[in-house]
Structure formats: C-alpha cells, structure tokens
Amino acid sequence: MGKTYPTIDEKLRKFIEAQTVYFVATAPMDASGYINISPKGLDTFRILGESTVAYLDLTGSGIETVAHLKENSRITVMFCAFQGPANILRLYGRGRVVEPHQAEYAELYGQFPAHLGARSIIVIEVSRISDSCGWGVPRLKFEAERDQLDVWAEKRGTEGLRDYRLQKNSASIDGLPGVEPMD
C-alpha cells in the first residue's frame, strides 16, 4: 500500500503536476491552537528541485498557514488523485514565507502565473515523501478553475488589497503574526 520516496522523481513530478487541487496543513505550537487545512489550486504549485517545492500564496480571509510557518515552519502538502488510478501523496517538510519585500520574491514569483492577489510564496524543504492507496477518495471530474479570487483582487486593486491584508491578514485566529503590510 504506502511507500516512502527519497526525492521527488519524474513519476512523482508527473503525478503532482497532473493534480488541479492540493491541500496544505499546518498547526501552531500551542496545543490549544487551531490546526489549519487549506485547499489550493489555480496552478500555484511548483517543484523547484528533488526536495524543494513552492506555492504562490494568494490573499484570503485568513493567514493561518503563514502565521504557523513563521512560528514553527512545520507543513504538510497533500495531493489526491480524483481521476485515474487511486493515490494520495504527502510531502512533509519545513516551510518558510517569502514576502514581496524580500529580494528572493521576484525571482520565485516569475515561476508562477500572475495573480494580483499574491501575498507571499511558501518555499518548502521536503524531508519525507510518502503515498497511500487513496481507495477511499472519490472520482471527481475537473470542470474549470474558478475566477472569483482574481476578479475580487482586481476590483479591490493594489490599495484595497493592502488595506484588506492589514485588516484580515495581520494576525492568525490564534494571535500569531501574519504578513507584513505591503507598500
């Protein structure tokens, strides 16, 4: 059933790149804090190397993943095969947040499609790669990406997004620091 892998090889790369949705899980150090699981899509995941991946973090109503990573760096990314052979793949590792004011951001950002709502890039050094059967995951048919997030960001504009992030993304629901204000 389940196997572990030393690196992201070509077979795993093809599986990851074929998925239209993935899930990111993080947790604060405080046991009474909230565990967070976020679905992601919109072609925001990239494989940077055999054990390094990244995803474009888009503006949303919460900032849990960023806050948890800034506190403790623990993260798991999960891909499920909703079409084709059953499979679940998990990438466990340590993540860091690269924000637009950091020098590394521009180079990394160039590897993703442009999204006005981008607020950071999450870079993950993967320490464990494992799969499992996925037999309990239903078959689902992908229809299309949603455009609401990009439309929403465009309506707000740069200034409106900055204000929104100040209001909604400065701290997590557990009170941990979120993203720094963007100018």
Q: Which domains does the chain have, with CATH numbers?
A: 3-168 (2.30.110.10)
List the beta bridge partners of residue 46: 54
CB 108 within 8 A of CB 123: yes
Structure tokens at 168: 């909604």
pLDDT tier at 183, thresholds 50, 70, 90: low
* Contact in structure between 175 and 29 (CB atoms under 8 Å): no
* Percent over 70 (pLDDT), the chain: 98
pLDDT in tens, 154-164: 999 999 999 99
> Averaged over 6-33, what is the pLDDT?
98
pLDDT digits (tens, 9 = 90+) for 22-50: 999 999 999 999 999 999 999 999 999 99
Its pTM stands at 0.96
pLDDT at position 14 over 80: yes
Reported as a single tens digit per residue, the pLDDT across 122-153 is 999 999 999 999 999 999 999 999 999 999 99
pLDDT, one tens digit per residue, over 67-86 is: 999 999 999 999 999 999 99
